[in-house]
A and B are shown apart, each in its own frame.
Chain A
Amino acid sequence: MPNPTLIEEASAKKLPQPRGSLSSGLRASYRSGSLTTLLLFLPPALVLFTLFVILPVGEASYFSFFNWNGYGHPNKWVDFENYLRVFGDPIFKQSLGNNGLVILVSACIQVPLALWVALLIADRSRSSIVFRAIFFIPYILADVVAGLIWRYLYDGDYGIVGTIYRWFGQDAPDVLAETGWATAALLLVVVWKYFGFHMALFIAGRQNVPYDVIESARIDGASRWNITRFIVLPLMRPVVVLSLFFSLLGSLQLFDLIIALTGGGPLNSSHSAVSYLYTFGIRRMRVGFGSAVGVVLFIICVLVMLFYKRIFMRESASSK
């Protein structure tokens, strides 16, 4: 525990930070107490991070150069063969494409819709609170539960889709049994499930827009549309950026819902990158290949996050 009086003294004296040798730098930071803080607080985080993030990533990249089924020790070195297989596999490309589709649908349909609804029900009236709860419920459901519920809804024989079709004397299509349709069905469930989450973000964002700004605009005679267009939306930009960031993240992590809803089928047409990794790496006991998929996925994640932060997050921070 650094002595608080010492810290106060040090900051009161406003010690100049010497840019000289390492030892003098260390001494200075020791005197200011930051070294003690560093030594106290860094190790737990560093150890955990190394143990559960760095080591597994390192291990996976090592395994990815072997043809290994998980028994014994990896000993069949295959160079980049696993990576070539990953990139040569049309199913992997389609899985990545599905990830892209989820992001696209999220950005073009889910987020605007959530924003629109949020602006409608951001006030504190009773009906708004009820609607908020209704829209938020799907998000509370576990992914697996949501997947199973929708599996029954989509069922052509017993499900609600089948029942509706029969009212009109028609035979229902089995959406989950047809390539293309199954992916569309999946996208619908994704929108339904995560819509409430984005809406909640936007409601919080809308409530943070200071009322006095809106009031002064109103006094100046601005219409409701103009207030939304020129005051509310610009002030909510950081929330929109954050919301899109979560869609990106969610798409890259999409797994449970797919396994429960379609199992990646029919004919492996509705996999995401992660469910692809599980199906073709883990279930098939191809640890080497699975590790290669994992490494590729890891690199994609890091790149996406870096660029997103660079391009959007910084801009929104500076525009504040």
Chain B
Amino acid sequence: MKHGTVSLLLLSACLVSSSMSETVIKVLHIQKLPQVRAIWQEAADQYQKAHPGVKVQFDYLENEAFKAKLPTLLQSKDRPSVFHSWGGGVMVEQVSSGVCQDITKAAESGGFKDTFYPAGVQNFTVDGEIYGLPNDIGPIVFWYNKELCQKAGVDPTQIHDWDDFIAAVKKLQAAGITPIAAGGKDKWPLHFYPALLLMRILGKDGLDAVCAGKNGGFTSPDAVKAFQLYKELADLQPFQKGFLAATYPEAAGTFHDGKTAFHLMGNWDITEGRSDAADGKGLPDEKLGLFFFPEVKGGKGKWSDLFASLDGWLVTSDAPKETVDFMKVWLGKETQTKLASAGLFIPMVKGTAAAIQDSFLKQIAQVVEKSEWIQIAMDQLLGPDTGLVFNDESAAIAAGSASPQDATKAIETALERNKP
């Protein structure tokens, strides 16, 4: 009898306590690095302590699995409160299907949105309404191997325009050095070339017009010219042997094993990329250098216009009202400064660049601070279908199986059929 009362009391106590801590903020992320997760967890613990009854839960999905599962997940009852996003066309589709929440008011309160670089917030804004906030930026730059360049008599700091770059590639080849590593199987590492050439030739207004399909879109002469220049590079066969079957990690390994002179890649090449080298360490700081993608003579874009992977977080329609409040801690300057000083990535929060210790990241972050134009990756900007056609065609040109005219026509066709 006594036992019965006790267990009844325990049961009711359990019921009460479980009904009290009902608010759960679920964050769906693709972050592999344990150091980053640890700092996030600190922020979550801090918030949970200050707000009893709110629980923050981080859920991890691997990159490809994330992309594949997200549409179903977002339309189910299990949808997260906050999820990783690259912005662009994919985000627009998510917003227009009503799974995202307009957080403009919450983000503007207390000037929270102004703590980020404007380009970052802009990336998660649709029709003037804010649906998410930026996390970090990974600008694409040319990494180079100092030893190999020296051997061939190439000074990468003197590469200012595309002709200089082509000359450097030829010089390296003459010295018997493979100029460039590229992960052609994944295709997106190759799409950086035509995309950056488009930026350098067309400038922001020009590229916006092309992506909107104006004046023939991708088939307009300037857009075709970008692919023409890319083809001229590809015709030199500058990539490592078998690059069409190499994935990004394999190509990063090739570069960090010291087998090629250049690697066009985001700043994750000095964290993730290095770990793909045969010794797991990659090129040491003193052997590594970076330069920004060269300008094109007569083009409207500048070297400091950045092409970047710009990651952030979108808030879903039924996320608890505490979500943005938590983001103020999680994406706030204090937490982001910790991440910056650990050299884990370049946060989108103003004033964090000073905390970055890593000399390469610092050099890039300083350009990010001043950059007038940050362009996101084509496969995100153009949406999944057109974006992947862009990648396909980039690989086809590198393989010599498509002409610039074929490629631009295929991209334009895909763009047309995906018009809303």
A-side interface residues toward B, CB under 8 Å?
67, 69-72, 155-157, 171, 174, 176-179, 182, 262-263, 265-268, 282-286
Question: A176 contacts which chain B residues (CB < 8 A)?
Answer: 242, 245
Interface residues in B369-395 by Cβ distance below 8 A to A read 383-385, 388, 392, 395
Please encode chain B, from 345 to 365, with 1 for each CB lying within 8 Å of some chain A CB and 0 for all others. Answer: 000000000000000000000
On whether the beta carbons of B388 and A284 are closer than 8 Å, the reply is: yes
24 of the cross-chain contacts (CB-CB < 8 Å) are A71-B74, A72-B96, A72-B97, A157-B241, A157-B242, A174-B244, A174-B245, A176-B242, A177-B184, A177-B241, A177-B242, A178-B244, A262-B245, A263-B185, A265-B244, A266-B399, A267-B392, A267-B399, A283-B68, A283-B388, A284-B384, A284-B388, A285-B93, A285-B383
Per the bound structure, the CA–CA distance linking A265 and B68 in Å amounts to: 20
B94 at the interface (CB under 8 A from A): yes
Per the bound structure, the CA–CA distance linking A3 and B225 in Å amounts to: 84
The distance from the CB of B256 to the nearest CB of chain A, in whole angstroms, is 14
On whether the beta carbons of B385 and A265 are closer than 8 Å, the reply is: no
B-side interface residues toward A, CB under 8 Å?
67-68, 71-72, 74-75, 90, 93-94, 96-99, 184-185, 241-246, 383-385, 388, 392, 395-396, 399, 401, 417
Given A72-B98, A284-B384: A267 touches B244 (CB 8 Å cut-off): yes
Nearest A residue to B259 via CB reads A157
On whether the beta carbons of A285 and B395 are closer than 8 Å, the reply is: no
Per the bound structure, the CA–CA distance linking A70 and B383 in Å amounts to: 13
Given A67-B417, A71-B75, A284-B384: A265 touches B96 (CB 8 Å cut-off): no
On whether the beta carbons of A285 and B399 are closer than 8 Å, the reply is: no
Per the bound structure, the CA–CA distance linking A70 and B388 in Å amounts to: 17
Given A267-B396, A267-B401: A70 touches B71 (CB 8 Å cut-off): yes
Per the bound structure, the CA–CA distance linking A229 and B368 in Å amounts to: 78
Name A177's contact: one of B75, B93, B244, B392 (CB within 8 Å).
B244
Nearest A residue to B399 via CB reads A267
Question: B241 contacts which chain A residues (CB < 8 A)?
Answer: 156-157, 171, 174, 177
On whether the beta carbons of B384 and A283 are closer than 8 Å, the reply is: yes
Question: B401 contacts which chain A residues (CB < 8 A)?
Answer: 179, 267
On whether the beta carbons of B399 and A71 are closer than 8 Å, the reply is: no
Question: A69 contacts which chain B residues (CB < 8 A)?
Answer: 71, 93, 384-385
The distance from the CB of B71 to the nearest CB of chain A, in whole angstroms, is 4
The distance from the CB of B193 to the nearest CB of chain A, in whole angstroms, is 17
Given A71-B97, A72-B98: A284 touches B245 (CB 8 Å cut-off): no
